[in-house]
Amino acid sequence: MTALPERTERRLGLVIDLDTCVGCHACVVACKGWNDQGYGAPLSDQDPQGAAPQGTFLNRVHSYEVLPESGPAQHVHFPKSCLHCDDAPCVTVCPTGASYKRVEDGIVLVEEEACIGCGLCAWACPYGARELDLAAGVMKKCTLCVDRIYNEALPEKDRVPACVRTCPAEARHFGDLADPESDVSQLVAARGGIDLMPEQGTKPVNKYLPPRPRDGWGEDTDVLAPFLEPVAEEPQGFLGWLDRTLGKL
């Protein structure tokens, strides 16, 4: 049934720290690595060794430059995967019921056996979180590693999404955003976590922590400046003569 649940018992999701992400794409690789061998159709690649390779990914890292009113531009790495929205438009548009949001933990999933590959859910998602697998003909999306987080065959520290487990900068955090006491909720409160495209009315569960303001380039910090003063303001010797002569012409 593609009606959205009134409310979900938990709201599992990610908190992504744009301040600490270094843009290494390890989460992209870990995501692809885990999700092409377990849950659902493997993430196919098209023409992988050819001239125009492309493939299905559930997580991608964009890069932006932010130019403040004054001061130097800042470079922000921006990982993006499904935000497991409370009002997920991808779920209600689905004609078959393949797209659904789980009541128990709020994860948005695709039942691949019921997916007809019409692509309407990908059109309805403002974030580009869904990609049609061109080999399997069904829609793929982040499962929040539903086959890891409840998997008792794994050591407890591995029961988090692959992207979170692998992130060397610890820029990705996983938890229950419905519980105000959870680590992720505390982090969102402390750092002023934000929603992406709030005007789209999707009420995303995943939150983004904005980059902290950078240190300035004020006089105090510029300890090397005195040593870098120009030695000679006016050219001397031959160059000086040339400068004076050319100036007279």
**Contacts with another protein, residue ranges (CB under 8 A):** 1-3, 18, 25, 28, 52-57, 60-69, 73-76, 78, 80, 89, 92-98, 114-120, 122-128, 131-134, 136-139, 194-201, 208, 210-211, 213
Q: Is 12 helix (H, G, I), strand (E, B) or coil?
A: strand
Q: Which is nearer to another protein, 125 or 149 (CB)?
A: 125
User: How many Cβ atoms sit within 10 Å of the Cβ of residue 1?
Assistant: 8
Q: Which is nearer to another protein, 17 or 149 (CB)?
A: 17
Asked if 32 contacts 119 with a C-beta cutoff of 8 angstroms, the reply is no
Residues in the chain: 249
- In the complex, the smallest distance separating the C-beta of residue 160 from another protein, rounded to whole angstroms, is 22
- In the complex, the smallest distance separating the C-beta of residue 125 from another protein, rounded to whole angstroms, is 7
- In the complex, the smallest distance separating the C-beta of residue 28 from another protein, rounded to whole angstroms, is 8
Q: Which is nearer to another protein, 39 or 78 (CB)?
A: 78
66: tokens are: 């932010």
Residue type, 244: R
Q: Which is nearer to another protein, 139 or 167 (CB)?
A: 139
- Quick one: which H or E segment has residue 26? helix 26-35
Strand pairing class (12-17; 207-209): parallel
- In the complex, the smallest distance separating the C-beta of residue 89 from another protein, rounded to whole angstroms, is 7
Distance between first and last Cα of the chain: 87
